[in-house]
C-alpha cells in the first residue's frame, strides 16, 4: 500500500497541475491550515467523474479508494468495537497472517454499558482509537447501539443494553474518545437490527413512537452530541426498504433532521439496488455479493451497484451529478478529518496503558448478582483446595462471534487468574463440559464424552473446599454470535444439570458465567454466589480475580433485565410474528414497552431487574428533594440526595433516576430512566449527589404531530438502585 507521501510525490513528478491559493503554492485541499470545507470543495473541483465514483465503493474487503492522482489516501476500515481486527487478505475474510497485528481485547460493549460510567466509555474509546490509529485505520467499525429487544439476539453482546438513555450516555464519550485519535467511529447498525434470524431480508414494522423513543435515541445522541463521522446501515428492511439505502432513515432522519455531515457506509453485502443506493442516502458500498462473513466476493469491484452502473447512470443523465458530488464531498470530509488531518496524533498498540484500561473497565463491569452469607469475597489462604470447573475457565472468549472475533496479543483466562491469585498448588481444574470448536454459521458439537466430563468434575467437586464454576455462553454459533440467534434462554452444553450435580456434593459454590445475554437459573436458590463476568477481553482473568478476592469491590449494574422465562419479555409475549417473524415481516407488538418498561408496566417479576447489581458494602439513600415543585416544559429539574457508604468496604454505587406519569393521554411505561450517576465512596463516607434532568426528556413522540411533546401535569421522579429498588420519590408538576 502506497503511503500518502509516496502518492503525493508521484503526482508531482507526473507534472499534475494543482489549483493553488493566492497566498500559498500548496493546493488548498493539501493546506492543513485551511478550513476543511474549503479543502473539500477544492479537491472536489479537481476530480473527474470517474474518480468521484471510485470513492463510493470498495476496492478490497476492507478498503475503498482515495484519489491517487491528487495524493488523497484510501479509506481503510477495521472490524471490532472492542478490539481492532487482524489484517485480512485483499478480497477474502481469511487472515493475512501478519506478525504485528495482534491487538488488545477490550470488554464487549454489554460489559461497558454495565459500568454505568461514561468515564469508562471515554477511556474505552480513546484506548481502542489509539490502537486503530497505530494500525493506520481511517474508520473503526463500531460502536453498536442496537437496542436489546430479545434475549435471544446473537449480537446483543456487541450492543449497550435495553435502555435508550443508558446507551445514549455511554455511546457519546466512546465516539469522542475514538475520534480524538483521528479515527472515525462508525456507528452501527442503523437501524432496527434486533435479530439475526432472516437479518438480510426481514422487514421491521413498528410505530413511530417506538422508533423515535426506543430505537433511535442512541443513534441520535451519537450523531448530534458525539459528532460521529460515519455510520453503518443495517442488513434488515424498514418499511419496505433495506436500511443501507432507506430514504426515511438516511435522507430524512439522519441527514436532514439530524444534520449528519459524515459518511454512510453499507454493512458488508447490505446493498441491493443501484437506484436506491444512489438516491436513498448511501455513500460507500462495501462487501456486495457477500452475506456477512459467509461468502467471498470473487467478482469485479467495478460491478458494484455504486461502481460502473452508477457511472453509466451519471453519463446517461439518469442520476443527478449533485447526488455524486454529495457522496464524494462526505467521503473527502471523512479523509480530511482523519488521515489528512494535521492534528492527527500518533497511536499506540498493545501498550501497558491499554492493558490497564481494559482491566479497569472489566473490573467496573462485573456484576455481583447473589452473595448469600458473604460467600464472596474469597481471601487468599481461606481455602486449601479450590476446584475450578467449567470450559469457560480455560477457553478463549475473544475468538468466534462473527465479525468481532479478534487476534489478540494475549488473553488471561479465568483459570490463569485464579491460579495466579490463590496459588497453583491450591487449585485443581476440571473441564466439566465441552462446547466444541467455534465455526461461523455452523454448530460443531464436541467429540468429548459429556457424561465422562461431568462425572470427572463431580468427583473433583466432592473433595474441594470451594468450587468456582466458570461457564455460561460462548461465541459459538447459536450462542453469542453473529448470523444466528440463540435457540432458548437456558444455559447450553448441559450446564444446568452440571451445576445442580455439583451443588449436590458441595455447598460452597460460586457460579461465574460469561454472557452477553440473560439466562435462566434453575439452580439459583441453592447457589450461594453468582457473578456475571461478560466477555472481558485480554484482562478477563485478572479482572475476575480482582473482584472474587475483594481487591476490587464489584460495582457493575445490569444494562438489561433477566426474565424468569422467555415469554415474560414483550418481544416473546405475543406470536411468532412479533419474533422472529415469518422471514418476510416482523411486527414489534410490544411497541415502546421494551425490557424493564414491559416488565414493570405489566407487573411481571424479573429474575433480576434492569440496573441491579450488588456490592461488598451497603449504601444508604436519604430522601430525595427537587429544587422546585413546579417547572416549565423547557426547564431543568435538579434532584438531590445524600448517598452514604454505610458498610465497611470502599465501593461505588450507580444511583438511577426514573420518571413516571400515571395519567397520560398516551400509553406510557411505568417508569423510564432519565439520569444516573456512579459515585465512589470510602467506607462510612457520605456525599450529596445532584442529578439534573431536562424536562424536555419527559417528552413522548406525538405521532399526529410528527414531533416531541411534553405533557403538562404531575410526574413522579423515582430514585433507586435498580428499576425495582426504589429508595425515594419526588412529585413535580410540569406547567
**Dihedral, 370, 372, 378, 383 alpha carbons, nearest 10:** -130
Grid coordinates representing 389 are: 470447573
- Annotated catalytic residue, options 267, 480, 546, 600: 267
Gap between the Cα atoms of 209 and 420, Å rounded? 52
Query: How does strand 139-141 pair with strand 184-190?
Result: parallel
DSSP three-state, residue 317: coil
What is the strand order of the sheet 367-371 is part of? 367-371, 529-532, 509-514, 466-472, 386-389, 427-430
Gap between the Cα atoms of 359 and 541, Å rounded? 9
Grid coordinates representing 585 are: 415481516
**Dihedral, 128, 129, 133, 136 alpha carbons, nearest 10:** 80
Question: Which residues, 6 or more positions from 259, have their beta carbon under 8 angstroms from its beta carbon?
Answer: 224
Catalytic status, residue 480? no
Alpha helix segments (H runs only) across 64-150: 109-114, 118-134
DSSP three-state, residue 36: helix
Q: Which H/E stretch holds residue 263?
A: strand 263-265
Gap between the Cα atoms of 253 and 256, Å rounded? 6
- Grid coordinates 455510520 are at which residue? 231
Q: Which of 682, 689, 674, 623 is nearest to 652 (CA)?
A: 682
DSSP three-state, residue 16: coil
Q: What count of other Cβ atoms lies within 10 Å of the Cβ of residue 343?
A: 8
Gap between the Cα atoms of 596 and 472, Å rounded? 23
Asked if the peptide bond before residue 143 counts as cis, ω within 30 degrees of 0, the response is yes
* DSSP E strands, 360-490: 367-371, 386-389, 427-430, 466-472
Gap between the Cα atoms of 412 and 73, Å rounded? 38
Determine contact, residues 200/233, Cβ cutoff 8 Å. Answer: no
Gap between the Cα atoms of 710 and 697, Å rounded? 8
Q: Which H/E stretch holds residue 700?
A: strand 700-702
Grid coordinates representing 496 are: 444446568
Gap between the Cα atoms of 162 and 311, Å rounded? 42
DSSP three-state, residue 295: coil
Q: List active site positions.
A: 267
Amino acid at each position: 500500500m502506497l503511503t500518502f507521501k509516496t502518492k503525493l510525490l508521484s503526482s508531482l513528478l507526473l507534472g499534475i497541475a494543482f489549483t493553488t491559493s493566492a497566498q500559498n503554492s500548496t493546493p488548498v485541499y493539501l493546506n492543513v491550515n485551511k478550513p476543511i470545507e474549503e479543502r473539500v470543495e477544492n479537491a472536489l473541483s479537481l476530480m473527474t467523474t470517474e474518480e468521484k465514483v471510485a470513492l463510493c465503493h470498495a476496492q478490497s474487503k476492507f478498503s475503498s479508494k482515495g484519489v491517487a492522482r491528487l495524493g488523497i489516501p484510501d479509506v481503510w476500515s477495521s472490524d471490532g468495537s472492542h478490539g481492532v481486527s487482524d489484517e485480512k487478505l485483499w478480497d477474502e475474510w481469511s487472515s493475512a497472517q501478519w506478525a504485528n497485528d495482534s491487538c488488545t481485547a477490550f470488554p464487549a460493549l454489554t460489559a461497558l454499558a454495565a459500568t454505568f460510567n461514561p468515564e469508562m466509555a471515554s477511556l474505552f474509546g480513546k484506548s481502542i482509537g489509539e490502537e486503530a490509529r497505530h494500525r493506520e485505520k481511517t474508520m473503526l467499525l463500531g460502536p453498536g447501539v442496537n437496542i436489546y429487544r430479545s434475549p435471544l439476539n446473537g449480537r446483543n453482546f456487541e450492543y449497550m443494553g435495553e435502555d435508550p438513555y443508558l446507551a445514549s450516555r455511554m455511546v457519546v464519550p466512546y465516539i469522542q474518545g475514538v475520534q480524538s485519535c483521528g479515527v472515525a467511529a462508525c456507528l452501527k447498525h442503523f437501524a432496527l437490527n434486533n435479530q439475526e434470524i432472516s437479518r438480510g431480508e426481514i422487514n421491521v414494522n413498528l410505530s413511530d413512537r417506538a422508533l423515535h423513543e426506543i430505537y433511535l435515541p442512541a443513534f441520535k445522541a451519537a450523531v448530534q452530541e458525539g459528532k460521529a463521522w460515519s455510520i453503518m446501515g443495517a442488513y434488515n428492511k424498514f418499511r419496505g426498504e433495506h436500511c443501507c439505502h432507506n430514504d426515511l432513515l438516511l435522507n430524512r432522519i439522519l441527514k436532514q433532521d439530524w444534520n449528519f455531515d459524515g459518511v454512510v457506509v453499507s454493512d458488508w453485502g447490505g446493498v441491493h439496488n443501484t437506484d436506491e443506493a444512489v438516491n436513498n442516502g448511501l455513500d460507500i458500498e462495501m462487501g456486495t455479493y457477500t452475506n456477512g462473513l459467509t461468502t467471498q466476493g470473487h467478482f469485479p469491484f467495478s460491478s458494484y451497484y455504486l461502481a460502473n452502473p452508477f457511472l453509466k447512470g451519471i453519463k446517461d443523465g439518469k442520476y443527478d451529478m449533485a447526488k455524486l458530488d454529495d457522496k464524494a464531498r462526505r467521503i473527502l470530509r471523512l479523509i480530511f478529518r482523519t488521515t489528512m488531518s494535521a492534528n492527527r496524533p500518533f497511536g499506540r498498540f498493545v501498550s501497558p496503558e491499554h492493558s490497564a484500561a481494559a482491566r479497569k473497565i472489566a473490573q467496573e463491569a462485573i456484576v455481583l448478582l447473589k452473595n448469600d452469607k458473604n460467600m464472596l469475597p474469597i481471601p487468599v489462604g481461606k481455602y486449601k483446595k479450590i476446584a475450578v470447573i467449567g470450559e469457560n475457565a480455560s477457553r478463549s472468549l475473544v475468538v468466534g462471534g462473527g465479525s468481532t472475533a479478534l487476534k489478540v496479543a494475549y488473553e488471561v483466562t479465568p483459570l490463569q487468574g485464579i491460579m495466579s491469585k490463590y496459588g497453583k498448588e491450591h487449585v485443581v481444574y476440571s473441564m466439566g463440559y465441552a462446547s466444541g470448536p467455534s465455526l461461523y454459521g455452523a454448530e460443531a458439537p464436541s467429540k468429548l464424552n459429556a457424561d465422562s466430563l461431568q462425572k470427572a468434575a463431580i468427583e473433583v467437586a466432592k473433595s474441594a473446599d470451594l468450587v468456582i464454576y466458570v461457564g455460561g455462553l460462548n461465541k459459538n454459533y447459536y450462542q453469542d454470535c453473529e448470523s444466528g440467534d440463540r435457540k432458548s434462554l437456558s444455559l447450553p452444553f448441559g450446564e444446568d444439570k452440571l451445576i445442580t450435580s455439583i451443588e449436590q456434593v458441595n455447598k460452597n459454590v460460586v457460579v461465574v458465567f460469561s454472557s452477553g445475554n440473560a439466562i435462566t437459573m434453575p439452580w439459583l436458590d441453592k447457589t450461594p454466589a453468582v457473578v456475571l463476568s461478560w466477555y472481558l477481553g485480554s484482562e478477563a482473568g485478572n479482572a475476575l480475580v480482582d473482584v472474587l478476592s475483594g481487591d476490587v469491590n464489584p460495582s457493575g449494574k445490569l444494562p438489561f433485565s433477566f426474565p424468569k422465562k422467555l415469554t415474560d419479555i414483550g418481544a416473546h409475549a405475543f406470536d411468532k410474528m412479533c419474533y422472529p417473524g415469518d422471514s418476510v415481516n416482523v411486527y414489534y407488538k410490544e411497541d415502546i414497552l421494551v425490557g424493564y418498561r414491559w416488565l414493570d408496566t405489566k407487573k411481571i417479576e424479573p429474575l433480576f431487574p434492569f440496573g441491579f447489581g450488588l456490592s461488598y458494602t451497603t449504601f444508604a439513600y436519604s430522601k430525595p428533594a427537587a429544587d422546585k415543585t413546579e417547572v416549565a416544559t423547557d426547564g431543568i429539574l435538579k434532584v438531590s440526595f445524600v448517598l452514604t457508604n454505610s458498610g465497611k468496604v470502599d465501593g461505588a454505587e450507580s444511583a438511577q433516576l426514573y420518571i413516571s406519569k400515571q395519567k397520560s393521554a398516551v400509553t406510557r411505561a411505568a417508569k423510564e430512566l432519565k439520569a444516573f450517576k456512579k459515585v465512589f465512596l470510602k467506607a462510612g463516607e457520605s456525599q450529596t449527589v445532584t442529578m439534573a434532568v431536562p424536562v424536555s426528556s419527559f417528552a413522548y413522540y406525538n405521532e399526529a404531530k410528527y414531533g416531541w411533546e411534553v405533557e403538562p401535569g404531575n410526574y413522579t421522579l423515582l430514585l433507586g438502585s435498580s428499576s425495582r429498588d426504589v429508595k425515594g420519590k419526588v412529585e413535580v408538576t410540569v406547567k
